[in-house]
């Protein structure tokens, strides 16, 4: 039984009236963006998208919880499982959008700082997966759904290899949870076929050459994050429609 319908925009802009959205939206959907600087950049892209549509501004709330320079390996430096519980209490998200890994080419160290697994140790992968699982268990402790974004291609070969390995760890940890509302999202790619390669520029629909990646070979420009946001947006609407918990349906029409 559909208890309420939330109106969300599509890229094509097939919209009806703001009144329709407000009629069905008892309270806004809350989406928390958590993780490192990549999560913060994705938040910016999605927020820009929402800000252009008065209806979406009424039906959605985004939480900016990215912490630059943090990760899951060094719990002694930043305790993400504890932080996410605070977010659950204070922000009460329907959905987490998560991105980690950029700062995790490090030893795995527990909260006390006493137990350490070096990056070259044979059990590092298992130790890091435990940290990922601890975060997931904290975030999934209420009704909130989770979308975990894979790390996009990076310019540096060693960093990119590390990112690919971490994406495997993220996917495995999520699969082991066996919860339909916790989903791994494959990284956004510029290429539509074949192996993804690092490309700092792309050609838009008008034929203009646009800078996509920041000079560090890791992050994106504003235009790049807008492209990622368009990709993530479809994942958000689909996921909320299927696993929204209190949000029983997501309509892609209704906002104007």
Sketch out the chain's domains with CATH numbers. Answer: 29-245 (3.40.50.1110)
The reported pTM is 0.86
pLDDT at 244: 54
Whether residue 12 is predicted with pLDDT greater than 50 in this model: the reply is no
Whether residue 23 is predicted with pLDDT greater than 80 in this model: the reply is no
Tens of pLDDT, residues 98-126: 999 999 999 999 999 999 999 999 999 99
Q: Rounded to whole angstroms, how far apart are CA atoms 202 and 205?
A: 10
Rounded mean pLDDT of the chain? 86
Q: Rounded to whole angstroms, how far apart are CA atoms 190 and 199?
A: 8
Which structure tokens are listed for 253?
A: 């029409």
Which structure tokens are listed for 22?
A: 């407000």
pLDDT at 11: 28
Q: Rounded to whole angstroms, how far apart are CA atoms 28 and 93?
A: 10
What's the Cα-to-Cα distance from 246 to each of 3, 28, 141, 243, rounded to whole Å? 9, 11, 15, 9
pLDDT at 194: 75
| pLDDT mean over 122-136 | 97
Handedness of CA 236, 148, 111, 70 (dihedral sign): negative
Whether residue 243 is predicted with pLDDT greater than 90 in this model: the reply is no
């Amino acid at each position: 039984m559909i208890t309420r319908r939330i109106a969300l925009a599509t890229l094509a802009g097939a919209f009806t009236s703001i009144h329709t959205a407000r009629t069905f939206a008892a309270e806004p959907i809350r989406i928390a963006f958590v993780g490192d600087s990549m999560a913060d950049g994705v938040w910016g892209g999605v927020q820009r998208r929402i800000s252009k549509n008065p209806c979406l501004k009424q039906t959605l709330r985004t939480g900016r919880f990215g912490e630059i320079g943090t990760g899951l390996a060094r719990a002694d430096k930043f305790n993400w499982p504890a932080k996410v519980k605070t977010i659950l209490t204070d922000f009460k998200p329907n959905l987490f959008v998560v991105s980690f890994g950029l700062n995790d080419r490090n030893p795995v160290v527990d909260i006390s700082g006493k137990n350490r697994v070096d990056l070259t140790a044979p059990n590092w992968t298992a130790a890091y997966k435990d940290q990922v699982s601890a975060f997931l268990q904290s975030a999934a402790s209420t009704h909130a759904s989770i979308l975990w974004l894979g790390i996009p291609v990076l310019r540096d070969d060693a960093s990119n290899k590390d990112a690919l390995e971490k994406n495997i760890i993220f996917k495995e940890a999520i699969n082991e949870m066996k919860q339909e509302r916790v989903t791994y999202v494959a990284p956004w790619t510029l290429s539509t076929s074949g192996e993804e390669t690092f490309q700092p520029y792309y050609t838009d629909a008008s034929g203009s050459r646009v800078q996509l990646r920041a000079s560090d070979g890791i992050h994106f420009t504003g235009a790049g994050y807008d492209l990622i946001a368009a990709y993530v947006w479809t994942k958000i609407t689909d996921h909320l429609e299927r696993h929204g918990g209190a949000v029983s349906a997501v309509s892609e029409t209704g906002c104007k």
